Amino acid sequence: MQRLLALLLRKPSIAIFLIGETIAIYSVIQFNALPRQKTQQWWLAFSAALQNQVHQIYQYFYLHAINEQLIEDNTRLRTALIAQQSKEVVALPKFSSSYCFLDSTFNDSLSYRYRFIPCRVIFQPWGQKDGYFLINKGTLHGIRPMMGVVSPTGVAGVVIKTTKRYALCMSLLNTKLYLSVWIAPQNVLGSYTWDAKDRRHGIVRYVPSHYLISPGQKVYTSGMGTIFPEGIPVGTVTEVVKDPANEAFWRIRIQLATDFYRMDYLYAVEHYDRTHLDSLSLQTP
């Protein structure tokens, strides 16, 4: 380092040349869409590959906790399977941790419309206001932007950018993400958003105040659109107050179904008819 500094001091023209080149490269990338997009894709691929290596080292030291989680998920799956085979009515949620619905009619329709692609979180920065995470699957595995991502317990986020082997996802802990939900058992529609106050809770708005909503009620995806199927858990109601912006609606605080501090194994959700539905929505008058 000292020799390099001494060289630059002896020959300042080299330093001026390097500074000029740096400014020129920055200007080309910053003010031109194509170079900026290519640079973002390269940086996403590079950082994802680096984080994947770090994640593998991290996972090596936490195999016991991961095995415990897998055992718990397999137990729920086995319970749901036994209940389905015996056709008994059991106290299980409509949406199980393994994404096998107990309603056979709904399960049949789901299998024709959706495909679940297993993936894992390899990086999730906590220093930013809005939440993002990287997964270890990309376009080579069928991942595309605007696909939903779910955890074994509920909604996790939405894919926004992809490379061949990795994808960047916007999590529920992001103020830019809005999600159509319904509250059971009334099946009242609302809109989920995050208020950036607590990483374990979110907000549901635009629920008319003439509906009686109480703590403990469950919140699920509404199924509107092509991102998530209907009935995936989003959270549980913890607080209900009048919306200060409009007292005709409730402002409902929910505890999120997904624990983002422990998030690891995920599923990307592909809607087989998404292209046809999106094209029809663009043709609406």
The pTM for the full model equals 0.66
Q: Give the pLDDT confidence of 202-252 residue by residue, as tens digits.
A: 999 999 999 999 999 999 999 888 899 888 999 999 999 999 999 999 999
DSSP class of residue 208?
A: E
Q: Does a cis peptide bond (omega within 30 degrees of 0) precede residue 185?
A: yes
DSSP class of residue 229?
A: -
Residue with tokens 């509107």: 224
Nearest to 85 by CA among 100, 106, 70: 100
95/267: higher pLDDT: 267
**Helix axes 12-30 and 33-60, enclosed angle (nearest 10):** 100
Which three-class secondary structure state does DSSP give residue 189?
Answer: strand
52/121: higher pLDDT: 121
Residue spans of alpha helices (H) in 92-214:
104-113
Q: Which two tokens stand for residue 251?
A: 């402002």
Residue-range domains of the chain with CATH:
12-56 (no CATH), 117-272 (2.40.10.340)
Give the other-Cβ count within 10 Å of 254's Cβ.
Answer: 25
pLDDT of residue 252: 97
Q: Give the pLDDT confidence of 149-181 residue by residue, as tens digits.
A: 999 899 999 999 999 999 999 999 999 999 999
pLDDT surpassing 90 at residue 7: no
129/204: higher pLDDT: 204
